[in-house]
Structures are given as structure tokens and as C-alpha cells.
Amino acid sequence: MDKNALSDDRLLLQQIAEGHEKAFAVLVSRYWNNIYGQALTYLKSSHQAQDIVQEVFIKIWEKRETLPQIERFDSFLFITARNHIISELRKKLANPLDPDVVDVYKEERVVPDQQLSFKQLQQHLKTAVELLPQQQKTAFLLSRDEGLSYEAIAAQMNLSRETVKKHIGRSLNFLRTYMRTHAEVNLTIFFIILLNSVKF
């Protein structure tokens, strides 16, 4: 994000902290699509993604007095949305009737000492990321670790937005396949690991 955008965000955040609803509406309009796209990528449900966006902005409004203290609002927003997405994915795991996780209950149960620890699963993911072609890897990490939009990644990598979108889509497909093959995790568990993973 350039300096002008950062300055503009800071002004909006100050106005929102003072209770200006119009400034809040501008902020929502500016970042709605970014959060929605992030949520849709992991939840695969337009309805749930919209719910996440609403929850995120409700939380921001409720905590508006603290907004001027935030240095990088785009990063703060990415982390806030990520936490809400993780919470939603965990709800899916807790619901055995959810179609995304019902396959787990159809599989033969694994005894505790055969199960991979969360740290081991993260290591599998790290290994998989290292196997990605360089541009896919770079685009994926800029999106996941820094919360950059497709447009920001495209500018940084000197690529088109569509090329970045393809790189990230292909990287996610590869990582899902790798984790299913090498760690035997289902889709929902994969996304929780992906979102919780430390930066490489």
C-alpha cells in the first residue's frame, strides 16, 4: 500500500473513531471485496463469506475508539478476517453433518500415536510450499503472510492481476493435493493448518 493510501486510511480511522458513520461506510466500501475474496477462498460459500465480512466490520465498529492506534490497517484487517475464518472452519470440524468434513467420519479411525501433530502438519505444508514454482510460491506467500491483494501482488511482481490470481489458485490446488496425499488431511483441516501456519 502506498503512502497516500496509508494517509487516507489514517484519516478515515480517525473519523470513524469519532463516530462518523459516513467515514465507516467509505471504509467498508473500500475493503469489502478484499475480505469477501479472502473468506470465499477458504470457506467456499458465498453466504458464509458474506457473514464473515459483516462480522469483521461489526467488530471494527465496536472497537472504533482504538482504530487510530493501528499502524497498518490493511494488515490488521487481514489478520482479523483470518481469525474469523479460522473460527468458522473450526465450527465446521465440530459439526459431523457438515458436507466439508463428513468424509472424516467415514474413514477408518486412526489411533492417537499414528496421528500427525499439528507441528508435523505445518512442516508438511512448509515442504509443499518449497516445491511450488518460484512465481507461484512468491504470490502465495505475499497473499498469505502479508495479506496483500491481487492488485498489490501484481504491482510488486510486475504481473497482471489475472496472472497472480492463477498463480495463487494453482498453488492452493497443489498444496491441497500434497497435503491429502502426504498427510491425509481433509479440506477443512487443510485450511485451518494453512491459516494458522507461521510465516516461512
What percentage of residues in the chain have a pLDDT greater than 90? 16
What CATH fold (topology level) applies to the domain 3-94?
A: Rna Polymerase Sigma Factor; Chain: A (1.10.1740)
Short-list 42, 131, 45, CA closest to 85: 42
Q: Is 37 exposed, middle or buried (0-12, 13-18, 19+ CB in 10 A)?
A: middle
* pTM higher than 0.75: no
pLDDT band for 15, please (50, 70, 90 cuts). very high
For the chain, domain boundaries: 3-94, 103-196
What long-range pairs does 101-104 form, CB within 8 A, spacing at least 24? Answer: 101/186, 101/187, 101/188, 101/189, 103/186, 104/186, 104/189
Angle at the Cα of 99 from the Cα atoms of 95 and 104, rounded to 5 degrees: 70
Q: Tens digits of per-residue pLDDT, 168-182?
A: 888 888 888 887 777
8 Å CB contact between 107 and 186: no
Give 86 or 6, the one with higher predicted confidence: 86
Q: Residue 87: is its pLDDT beyond 90?
A: no
Q: Which of 81-90, 96-105, 182-191 has the highest mean pLDDT?
A: 81-90
Count of H-run helices and E-run strands, the chain: 10, 0
Residue 149 pLDDT class (50, 70, 90 cuts): confident
* Residue matched to cell numbers 491459516: 195
- Per-residue pLDDT band for 134 (boundaries 50, 70, 90) equals very high
122: CB partners within 8 A, 6+ apart = 193, 196, 197, 198
Range 103-196: architecture per CATH: Orthogonal Bundle (1.10)
